[in-house]
């Protein structure tokens, strides 16, 4: 199995949830890997990566200063910032510079973005500029 196939299969929330449930029931990484056709190392990476990603995404979500964007992420809990960036920039590849820039912008840092990016954010979030970019009252400052 190619690395790309492993990654796409690992991102399947249903598979990951089944792996988590099996692990809680006491199955070993080896047993879970056999069930899903992957190595025990793959299972370990998938389960640890999803936990780390989940914690990191929730921390960043809580720091979003724009009400409409925050509501979009609240309504779409499976959405991560890489996928959001891909939707905004209409691309299938990961560009870390774009992801980091967008995260910094959403946290309220002074980041300049092209006008079309603001329009795409409004389009993706499904609101007007005023609705999407209204400042939130309570923002976690971790």
CA neighbor of 65 nearest in space, from 117, 118, 103: 103
Same domain, 92 and 131: yes
Distance in angstroms (rounded) separating the CA atoms of residues 90 and 87:
5
User: Is residue 38 over pLDDT 90?
Assistant: no
Angle between helices 3-10 and 13-24 (to 10 degrees): 70
Give the pLDDT confidence of 122-138 residue by residue, as tens digits.
999 999 999 999 999 87
Q: Which domain holds residue 51?
A: 1-62
Q: 62, 81, 115: which is the final residue of a domain?
A: 62
- Overall pTM > 0.75: no
Q: 62, 81, 101: which is the final residue of a domain?
A: 62
> What secondary structure letter does DSSP report for 128?
-
> For the chain, where are the alpha helices, taking DSSP H only?
3-10, 13-24, 29-36, 40-62, 67-75, 81-89, 96-106, 115-125, 129-132
Same domain, 2 and 39: yes
Q: Where do we find the tokens 């389009």?
A: 123
Report the percent of the chain where pLDDT is more than 90.
32
Q: What is the pLDDT of residue 5?
A: 55
SS3 call for 135 = strand
Give the pLDDT confidence of 69-123 residue by residue, as tens digits.
999 988 887 788 888 888 999 887 777 888 889 989 999 999 989 999 999 999 9
Q: 62, 78, 112: which is the final residue of a domain?
A: 62
Same domain, 52 and 121: no
Write out the two tokens for 107: 């946290």
The band of 2, judged by pLDDT with boundaries at 50, 70 and 90, is low
Q: What is the pLDDT of residue 44?
A: 83
């Amino acid at each position: 199995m190619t690395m790309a196939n492993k990654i796409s299969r690992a991102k399947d929330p249903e598979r990951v949830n089944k792996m988590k449930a099996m692990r809680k029931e006491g199955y070993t990484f080896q047993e879970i890997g056999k069930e899903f056709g992957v190595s025990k190392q793959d299972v370990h990476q998938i389960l640890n990566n999803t936990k780390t990603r989940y914690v990191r995404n929730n921390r960043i979500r809580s720091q979003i200063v724009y009400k409409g964007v925050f509501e979009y992420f609240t309504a779409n809990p499976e959405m991560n910032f890489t996928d959001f960036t891909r939707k905004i920039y209409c691309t299938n590849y990961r560009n870390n510079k774009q992801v980091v820039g967008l995260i910094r912008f959403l946290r309220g840092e002074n980041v300049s973005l092209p006008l079309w990016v603001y329009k795409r954010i409004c389009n993706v979030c499904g609101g007007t500029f005023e609705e999407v970019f209204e400042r939130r009252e309570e923002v976690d400052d971790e």
